[in-house]
């Protein structure tokens, strides 16, 4: 039974990593669609969201099956975290879809250069996400703790982009459509940073059996 459980757990982890790969690629490609003004790429991101949705369902079903086999507290924590991770990753994929849809709208307007700050914010949010997932894979709760404060950097950049875009709208009324869509995109990237921080907190719970949500224990 133990051997079977171990195999099932490894399969579960592989499903989570596959889901993570799809979610990360979705965000990256959505931002590229914006910067390259590529509607075809944006549409591919939107279509790909269904893959992540299906993986979330399959992971939940697998966890429910595994709960009846789990014997150790560590296994039970993994089951709990797996369901939370899949939910976080599904939300990341949803944000990617929103970015892609907004990119298509931005692309209907003349090139303005107003999206220049988006790639940096995307790199920061995706960097957090990748690092959080690495701590899950490698069992590194201390590194996970160090990721959480980085969310403040993403939040600060989101506020700066909103300020800059607001000023531009006031100066050039014709840019309102583009600026509002870029504000939504920036907010989506902020949410992805939030999800990355959430994943880092879940890694701490998984490996240290300590719930640090709302405690400030992941802050610098």
CATH number of domain containing 190: 1.20.58.220
Phi, psi (rounded to 5 degrees) for 82: -60, -45
216: pLDDT strictly greater than 80: no
Arithmetic mean of pLDDT, 166-193? 95
1: pLDDT strictly greater than 50: no
More confident residue, 217 or 220: 217
213 assigned to some structural domain: no
Could you list the residue range(s) of the whole structural domain that residue 56 is in? 2-208
In contact, 208 and 141? CB cutoff 8 Å? yes
143 assigned to some structural domain: yes
217 assigned to some structural domain: no
In the numeric block, which tokens belong to residue 206? 């998984």
pTM for the structure as a whole: 0.92
Average pLDDT over the chain reads 93
216 assigned to some structural domain: no
106 assigned to some structural domain: yes
Looking at residue 219, its pLDDT comes to 57
In contact, 86 and 55? CB cutoff 8 Å? yes
pLDDT tens track for 8-37? 889 999 999 999 999 999 999 999 999 999
101 assigned to some structural domain: yes
107 assigned to some structural domain: yes
CA atoms within 13 A on the CB side of 135: 28
For the chain, first and last CA: distance in Å? 43
Looking at residue 217, its pLDDT comes to 59
Q: What's the number of domains the chain is made of? A: 1
159 assigned to some structural domain: yes
């Amino acid at each position: 039974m133990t051997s079977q459980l171990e195999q099932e757990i490894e399969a579960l982890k592989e499903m989570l990593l596959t889901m993570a790969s799809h979610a990360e690629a979705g965000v990256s490609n959505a931002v590229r669609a914006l910067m390259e003004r590529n509607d075809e790429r944006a549409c591919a991101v939107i279509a790909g969201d269904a893959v992540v949705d299906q993986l979330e369902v399959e992971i939940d079903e697998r966890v429910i099956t595994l709960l009846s086999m789990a014997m150790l507290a560590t296994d039970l924590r993994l089951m709990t975290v797996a369901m939370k991770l899949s939910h976080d990753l599904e939300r990341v994929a949803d944000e990617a879809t929103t970015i892609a849809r907004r990119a298509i709208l931005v692309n209907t307007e003349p090139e303005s250069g107003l999206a220049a700050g988006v790639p940096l914010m995307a790199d920061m949010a995706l960097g957090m996400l990748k690092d959080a997932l690495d701590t899950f894979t490698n069992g590194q709760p201390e590194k996970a703790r160090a990721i959480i404060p980085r969310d403040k950097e993403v939040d600060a950049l989101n506020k700066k982009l909103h300020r800059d875009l607001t000023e531009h709208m006031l100066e050039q009324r014709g840019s309102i459509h583009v600026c509002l869509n870029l504000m939504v995109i920036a907010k989506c990237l902020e949410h992805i940073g939030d999800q990355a921080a959430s994943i880092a907190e879940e890694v701490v719970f998984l490996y240290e059996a300590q719930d640090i949500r709302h405690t400030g224990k992941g802050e610098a």
